[in-house]
Structure 1
Amino acid sequence: MLWGYDGWFWASVVLGTLSCLICLVQALRGREPDDFSQGSVLILEFFLLVYMVGSIFLPLYGSEASGSVLEYWGYLLTALLIPAGTFIWSLVERSRWSTLILAAAGPVVIVMVYRMNFIWYYQNV
């Protein structure tokens, strides 16, 4: 762990920040959702799907959650819905405001993964 958080958290910080910046720049330029903005959110969604698979196998390798497992999975399933929902929104409403909504997915994913990391490792410490 680096500074108390695992690599998954830092990967979410990098991917979420890049996705947010890409979408913000596109929104400030007045662009509709395009391959860059939508693709960055799809990469976030793919990251969360890999995170989910890792979360399924994590207890099998001896790592136990220090907090509520139900709360952890609630956060994970909600985090999976955010990028998917913003992506669908950007398909339905093709405007620069949709690109701004796509930008919100990055910070939300960072906060959700931070909270999941806290629940798994530090809840009862």
Structure 2
Amino acid sequence: MVEALTTTIQVASLVLAAWCLISTFRDQPMVVPHLVAMGVLWLALIAQAVVSGVLMAGGERPAEPLVFVSYLATVVLIPPACAVWGFVERSRWGPAVIAFACLILPVMMVRLEQLWDPARV
């Protein structure tokens, strides 16, 4: 895993969560910029998954490969699922769904780092 990319994902996710929570408290529905930001975050997560897959193919292995791959797949699937759910929910709760997803992602990224290199954490 690339530490700088992980940190970028965590920061971007928390910023997007704050933005969506502000939209929720202002009683605003989800708008296209929310989706674009979620798409950019999703691309960063896909990049991290690809890099991790290449590193695993090159011989580096996490402590628990099956658990690592399942967490990685979940992390990649959360943004599109929540973006669709948030877009369908045309009330103020649409951005709240995105904010919830964005608050989960940093925690899951920390867990991925723990699985990748348990001695470092």
Identity %: 26
Query: How far apart are 1:110 and its partner, in Å?
Result: 0.6
Query: How far apart are 1:7 and its partner, in Å?
Result: 1.5
Task: Find the counterpart in structure 2 of residue 84 from structure 1.
Answer: 80
Residue 25, structure 1, aligned to residue 22, structure 2: yes
Letter paired with 1:97: W
Aligned length, in residue pairs: 120
Residue 49, structure 1, aligned to residue 40, structure 2: no
Rounded Cα–Cα distance in structure 2 between residues aligned with 1:63 and 1:102: 33
Q: Secondary structure, in 3 states, of the residue corresponding to 2:60?
A: coil
Match of 2:36 among 29, 34, 39: 39
Match of 2:112 among 91, 113, 116: 116
Rounded Cα–Cα distance in structure 1 between residues aligned with 2:119 and 2:84: 34
Q: Secondary structure, in 3 states, of the residue corresponding to 2:29?
A: coil
Question: How do 1:89-100 residues align onto structure 2 when only pairs under 5 Å count?
Answer: 89-100=85-96
Structure 1 unaligned runs (5+)? none
**TM-score, length of structure 2 as denominator length:** 0.88
